[in-house]
Amino acid sequence: MWAALEILSQANFWAATIRIATPLIFGVLGALLCERAGVLNLGIEGIFVAGAMSGWLAVYLGLPLWGGVLVAALVGALFGLIHGVLTVPLGLSQHVTGIGVTLLATSIAYFGYRVAFPNVGTPPRIDAFPPLDLPLLRDVPFLGPILGQQTAFTLLAFACVIVLALVLARTPLGLALRAVGDNPEAVEAQGLSVVGLRIGAVMAGSALMALGGAFLTLSAFNAFYFGMINGRGWVCIALTVFASWRPGKALLGALLFGALDAYQLRLQTITGGAVPSQIFLMLPYLFSIAALVLLARRADYPRALMKPYFKGQR
Amino acid sequence: MIALTAPDQPDRPPHETRPLVLSLSGITKRFGSLVANDAIDLDVRAGEIVALLGENGAGKTTLMSILFGHYVADEGTVHIADAAGQLAPLPGGSAEAALRAGIGMVHQHFALAENLTGFENIVLGTVPLWRLGFGKATARAKVARLMKETGLEADLGVPVGRLSVGEQQRIEILKALYRDVRVLILDEPTAVLTPQEADGLAETVKALSKKGLAVIFISHKLHEVLALCERVVVLRGGAKVADRPTAGADRATLAELMVGREIPPRERAPATLGAPVLRLAGVDVGAPGERDRLEGADLELRGGEIIGIAGVSGNGQGALAALVAGLKAPRNGSCEIVGHAATRADPSARIGAGVGRIPEDRHRDGTIGALSVAENYVLETLAASENQRHGLLRRSAIRARAAQAIRDYDIRCPGPEAPIRALSGGNMQKVVLARVLERAPRLILAHQPTRGLDIGATTDVHRRLLAARGRGAGILLISEDLDELFALSDRIAVIHAGHLSPAMDAAGLDTRTVGLMMAGHSAEEAA
Ligand SMILES: Nc1ncnc2c1ncn2[C@@H]1O[C@H](COP(=O)(O)OP(=O)(O)OP(=O)(O)O)[C@@H](O)[C@H]1O
Ligand SMILES: [Mg+2]
């Protein structure tokens, strides 16, 4: 019992929490940006894969690390463009299109990997983002070791939270984005382009999702392999509801999920096989389901979410 | 009511010498087989206030939507004067182009984002999107000045979705005025405003028109039209049937031009009172801090009478209506509805008990846009045996009954299978009314029942409500339209800041007293 609590005092545990949470932060931010504009983006799972693969490949082929990040973002935006064009001006079902984008992006990423590396057994590794070396913070007890295990990519995630929160709350663009997810007629009547705003939001959101994938290959595992995304995208969709579409709460949700995941890993070692490990693996997902059950009923969905808008129709 | 000043303002140059700012020619718009606008020509000059009249579904909103770029005309052109006064063609189908050309529109169905505050809705799109800030201070000052000049007060700091329709209307108007426009379209701006606010708006519009603003004013309230406008253009069935100066016209002539026939007067027999259908004693609804709440309300409504509830919207009418409709439970006090104690929020129990509900906002709470007219017609009685058998809807029976209602109530629509959102506001309201009255309810909650209805439809609603009263139904009429309240009510109570006054005999009241009580004075002060 005491050992189970003691985990919470380990700097290692908190460092792992942040590491696990980082890709989710990107993912939830991306998903909430799309949904705030009124578009559900179930392409997220595939865009994670594509981001992970393309970012890693770019670095493997010689681009600097930040170049890989940029490539991943661009690839994400491209899939966002596909999803946006199909769902916004053409008004196709957002569910079906999103699943389609996930299948497409996943397949292309796997195919590209196989074409590039027809005969390798172990996935080739790259030199990933190094841990932060912060001259002053390094010596702060507890906090120092936690931050010392993170990379600059993680800082980017936190920066994105702040930037997105500010943009949504404070800028004319954020206002327009929030409005277009609530009542596109209002946006149209104020002379703004519903299609432009929505496609833009989906592209930017998808770029963020791809960064989540790229974090895994460029900062966490240093390699790309099949199945590595493992449902993280779907978790982000659930966390978006948990976050009630707010960047600050998105950060909170991602950290909570990360903490649960890090915790269950450590619990497994404590209990030493007395309890089947699958039970522990379930924990974070049970949390997601519980959060959805408790919160989704009260959730304030963007009113126009999943409702295609056609000009001149009522 | 709008102050009755002479419509021809002598301090202005005569009509013909003022420059043209807007010219529509041959505008035709079809929706499937329906011709909503039929080769309409319309010229508007600077400083002119033109009324656009017509029955529900005559095509007024459609014409204005073409002008504002929401719809694209099938035929015809729009020309608008540029800054130098030269007429230039306006590209169709772009609200952005219309705004840039100086056209502002107050939408009949508000174009507001409900998750944004009033202020945010007003400034939305007025600042380039790449900017980091708004210049909030200047924007706020401008909005504050506008509110003062126009007398249109609204809480700008809370999400618009939480405001009453009256407040939303005010914000919708402020939004259009905030952009310095040269042509202002007002599509039924006064439908939910209080008389004082409508006056204030009229004054503002007049002042602006003196400065050269051209105004197109759509309203079903003919006294406003007569007081405010110099010229009336009348549409009927999509075609322009009249274009004449207001001088020399009266309500009856205008009504006849619109409807194409005479309108029968309403008849009102003396009340024969039955058993109480609604009894409130010390009822509280809603938390004390809430805007729209009810505190210690006492009221007894009996079968066969109409009690009018007067008040500025947002003073507790919503809470009262929600209580009666079963959407909210009373927090304190006792509430008895058609013989049943109402302690819980249970809308279907209310319907079962014989409460008929005409909601304030027919789009939000009255109908489901994507469903057909027939489906909406039976929405509240799906479980009844005439609508379903063994859990399956009896489609053909439902369609036949809806078709009958369409005939009885003169609902203009393509048919029972048409989605209800394609209907004009007045016709949508008729569906709601037909649905309520079909069940011969004991208690009818009529919340702004004629909002946005044309004069023919309004008279029709009034006649039907009076007929229901004659059959013994008790009617709770919540309205901001004093004419309507006095025309229908046996007794009138005034609601202000959550407090409901005792119901007073309507015969002994005048509009001034009620107006003062609506502003918060007590009955003694007001008398
Ligand atoms: N987008 C649309 N699709 C199909 N039919 C439409 C559409 N817009 C309008 N109509 C139809 O066109 C006709 C004219 O409607 P419009 O809204 O212009 O009437 P209106 O004169 O503004 O009436 P009201 O006084 O009730 O507002 C109606 O029969 C309406 O059902
Ligand atoms: Mg209209």
Look up the domain containing A114 and give its range.
16-119+127-233
Predicted confidence band at B3 (pLDDT cuts at 50, 70, 90)?
very low
- Residue A86 domain-assigned (yes or no): yes
Buried-state track B494-526, b at ≥16 Cβ within 10 A, e below 16 = bbbebbbbebbebeebeeebbbbbbeeeeeeeb
Cα of B53 to ligand 2 centre, how many Å? 10
CATH of domain B264-354+440-527: 3.40.50.300
DSSP letter for B490, please: S
Residue A217, pLDDT above cutoff 70: yes
Which ranges of chain A would DSSP assign to H, the alpha helix? 2-6, 11-36, 44-60, 65-87, 94-116, 143-148, 152-170, 172-180, 184-189, 194-215, 232-242, 247-271, 277-296
The DSSP bridge pattern shows strands B306-310 and B491-496 to be parallel
Name the phi and psi angles at B207, rounded to 5: -60, -45
Measure the CA–CA gap between B282 and B294, rounded to whole angstroms: 10
The three-state (H, E, C) secondary structure of A192-210, written as one string: CCHHHHHHHHHHHHHHHHH
Beta bridge partners of B335: B280
Contact B116/A175, CB-based, under 8 Å? Answer: yes
Ligand 1 contact via B430 beta carbon (within 6 Å): no
pLDDT at position B287 = 84
Buried-state track B462-479, b at ≥16 Cβ within 10 A, e below 16: bebbbebbeebbbbbbbb
Whether A191 and chain B come into contact, CB under 8 Å, resolves to yes
Cβ atoms A288, A257 nearer than 8 A = yes
Question: Closest-CA residue in chain A for B111?
Answer: A186
Closest C-alpha to ligand 1, atom 5:
B422
Residue with the larger pLDDT of the pair B413 and A233: A233
Our answer on whether the CB atom of B451 is closer than 6 Å to any ligand 1 atom is no
Q: Is residue A210 part of a domain?
A: yes
- In this structure, what token pair is assigned to residue A33? 């940006």
Q: Band the pLDDT of A314: cuts 50, 70, 90.
A: low
What count of Cα atoms within 13 Å lies in the side-chain half-sphere of residue B452? Answer: 27
Nearest-angstrom CA–CA distance, B112 and A188: 10
Q: Give the per-residue pLDDT at B241.
A: 95
Percent residues over pLDDT 90 in chain B: 60
Which atom of ligand 1 lies nearest, measured to the CA of B64?
18
- In which band, very low, low, confident or very high, does the pLDDT at B6 lie, cut at 50, 70 and 90? very low
Apex B186 CA angle, B421 and B257, nearest 5: 80
**Mean pLDDT in residue range B119-126:** 95
How confident is the model over B263-274, as pLDDT tens digits? 776 778 888 899
Rounded Cα distance, B58 and B233, in Å: 12
Contact B329, B284 (CB under 8 A): no
CB contact under 8 A, B422 and A314: yes
- Tell which residue, B514, B37, B522, has the closest CA to residue B309: B514
What pLDDT shows up at residue B1? 36
Does residue B356's CB lie within 6 angstroms of at least one atom of ligand 1?
A: no
As a whole number, the mean pLDDT across chain B is: 89
What 3-state class would DSSP assign to B142? Answer: helix
- The partner residue sitting opposite B95, judged by closest CB among A179, A182, A189, is A189
Whole-model pTM: value is: 0.84
DSSP single-letter state for residue B381? G
Residue A1 banded pLDDT, cuts 50, 70, 90 = low
pLDDT in tens, B450-486: 987 888 888 889 999 999 999 999 999 999 888 899 9
> CB–CB of A192 and B129 under 8 A?
yes
How many domains, in total, are found in chain A?
A: 1
Dist. CA B108 → ligand 1 center (Å): 11
Per CB-CB distance under 8 Å, the chain A contacts of B93 are 311-312
Report pLDDT digits (tens) over A8-39: 888 899 999 999 999 999 999 999 999 999 99
Q: Are B121 and A192 in contact (CB under 8 A)?
A: no
Residue B30, SS3 per DSSP: strand
Dihedral pair phi/psi, residue B239, rounded to 5°: -110, 155
Distance (Å, rounded) from C-alpha A18 to C-alpha A240? 18
The tokens for A98 are 């999103």
B121 touching chain A per CB within 8 A: yes
> Distance between CA B354 and CA B340 in Å, rounded?
11
Banded model confidence at residue A123, pLDDT cuts 50, 70, 90? confident
Are the CB atoms for B116 and B125 separated by under 8 Å?
no
C-beta of residue A264 within 8 angstroms of C-beta of residue A256: no
Ligand nearest to the CA of A310: 1
Q: Go through chain B and tell me how many residues it has.
A: 527
Judging contacts by C-beta atoms under 8 Å, the chain A residues touching residue B70 are 188-189, 311-312
* Domain B8-102+180-259 matches domain B264-354+440-527 at the CATH topology level: yes
Bigger pLDDT: A41 vs B450: A41
Is the dihedral angle over the CA atoms B160, B163, B169, B171 positive or is it negative? negative
Indicate whether residue B456 lines ligand 1 (CB < 6 A). Answer: no
Rounded Cα distance, A191 and B8, in Å:
35
Q: Nearest ligand, CA of residue B60?
A: 1
**C-beta neighbour count of B141 within 10 angstroms:** 11
Tell whether B99 lies on the interface with A, counting CB pairs under 8 A: yes
Question: Which ligand is nearest the CA of B258, by number?
Answer: 1
- Domain B8-102+180-259 matching CATH 3.40.50.10440: the answer reads no
Q: What are the residues whose beta carbons fall under 8 Å from the beta carbon of A182, sequence distance 6 or more?
A: A38, A302, A303, A304, B113, B114, B115, B116
CA distances from A287 to A45, A242, A256 (A): 19, 11, 9
Are the CB atoms for B198 and B2 separated by under 8 Å? yes
Task: Sheet with B294-302: list strands edge to edge.
Answer: B294-302, B276-285, B332-337, B340-341
CA A44 to chain centre: 8
Specify if A186 maps to a domain: yes
Q: Are B48 and B13 in contact (CB under 8 A)?
A: no
What is the C-alpha to C-alpha distance for residues B151 and B203, in angstroms, rounded to an integer? 10
- Describe the crossing of helices A152-170 and A194-215 by its angle, rounded to 10 degrees: 160
Flag whether the ipTM exceeds 0.90: yes
Q: To the nearest whole number, what is the mean pLDDT of chain A?
A: 92
Task: Please check whether residue A274 touches B, CB under 8 A.
Answer: no
Query: What average pLDDT score do residues B3-20 get?
Result: 56
Q: Which residue, among B86, B13, B80, B93, has the nearest Cα to B44 in the 3D structure? A: B80
| Domain spans in chain B, listed from the N-terminal domain onward | 8-102+180-259, 108-175, 264-354+440-527, 366-438
**Which residues lie across from B34 on neighbouring strands?**
B31
Instruction: Over range B381-385, report the average pLDDT.
Output: 85
Chain B: closest CA distance from residue A302 (Å): 8
Give how far A180 is from chain B: nearest CA, Å: 8
- Counting ligand 1 atoms within 8 A of each CB, the residue from B30, B31, B192 with the most, and so the one to mutate, is B31
Contact B282/B450 with Cβ under 8 angstroms? Answer: no
What one-character DSSP code corresponds to residue A264?
H
Distance CA B509, CA B465 (A): 21
Rounded mean pLDDT of B380-405?
Answer: 90
Structure tokens at B483: 């004419």
Residues 6+ positions from A166 with CB-CB distance below 8 Å: A174
Q: What is the pLDDT of residue B4?
A: 39
Whether the CB-CB separation of A17 and A258 falls below 8 Å is answered with yes
Strand partners of residue B236: B239
- In angstroms, the CA A2 to CA B262 distance is 89
Q: Is there an atom of ligand 1 within 6 Å of B303 CB?
A: no
Structural tokens at position A303: 């009113």
**pLDDT per residue as tens digits for the range B28-59:** 999 888 899 999 999 999 999 999 999 888 99
Is the pLDDT confidence value at B14 over 70? no
Band of residue B149 on the pLDDT scale cut at 50, 70, 90: confident
Q: Do A179 and B121 touch (CB under 8 A)?
A: yes
What's the pLDDT at A129? 94
